[in-house]
Amino acid sequence: MNNLLESLSKPFLPIAPWLLRLGLGTSFILHGLGKFPLPPEKMVTWFESMGYMYPEVVTSMVAVGEVAAGVGIIIGGLVSNNIGTLITRLSGGAVVVIMIGAILIAHSDWLITKKLFMSEQIFLLILGLYFAIKGNNK
């Protein structure tokens, strides 16, 4: 039975990492684009109410960073040399930084709770960490 499953799944092995890459990249691109035009007014208002300095700059950097990280995750996979691995790792690291910020700032009440582990935020963080560590290595 195991050999049958191996045989059936083998043709799909090359696309398996792309499912993760495209899911994460698309999610980050869409989250970032949803904050345009810059600065994202709702986010700026929220940051101002929380007392953060320079909310227009910070929120604009988050929006641009999300789009750039999403594009980098996808583009990094299309470049098969060390540059592609570097792009993937840097983009994965950017995802990690952005998601840690989102969890600590916007969802601090979720820390180490059931709600965090039932949200998309934890999975975006984990996928970013995966690509930061793995790069394009098989």
**5 in any annotated domain:** no
Residue 70 inside a domain? The answer is yes
Instruction: Give the chain's mean pLDDT.
Output: 92
What pLDDT, on the 0 to 100 scale, is given for residue 106? 80
The answer to whether residue 8 sits within a structural domain is no
Residue 7 has pLDDT above 80, yes or no: yes
Q: Rg (Cα) of the chain, in Å, rounded?
A: 17
Q: Does residue 3 lie within any of the structural domains?
A: no
Say if 2 falls within a structural domain. Answer: no
Residue-wise pLDDT tens digits, 57-112:
999 999 999 999 999 999 999 998 999 999 999 999 999 999 999 988 887 777 77
Location of structure tokens 């952005």? 98
Domain that holds residue 21: 16-134
For residues 121 and 104, is the Cβ–Cβ distance under 8 A? no
Cβ(52)–Cβ(58) below 8 Å: yes
Cβ contacts of 51-60, under 8 Å, gap ≥ 24: 59/35
- What is the C-alpha to C-alpha distance for residues 129 and 135, in angstroms, rounded to an integer? 10
Strand segments (E) across 46-135:
none
Q: What is the DSSP letter of 107?
A: S
Q: Residue 118: its pLDDT value, please?
A: 82
Report whether pLDDT(119) > 90.
no
Asked whether residue 110 is assigned to any structural domain, the reply reads: yes
- CB within 8 A of 25, min separation 6: which ones? 70, 71, 72, 73, 74
Domain count, the chain: 1
The predicted pLDDT at position 131 comes to: 97
Cα–Cα dist 38/32, whole Å:
10
Q: Would you say residue 11 lies in a domain?
A: no
Domain annotation covers residue 93: yes
Chain CA centroid to CA 44, Å = 21
What CA–CA distance (Å, rounded) separates 81 from 103?
33
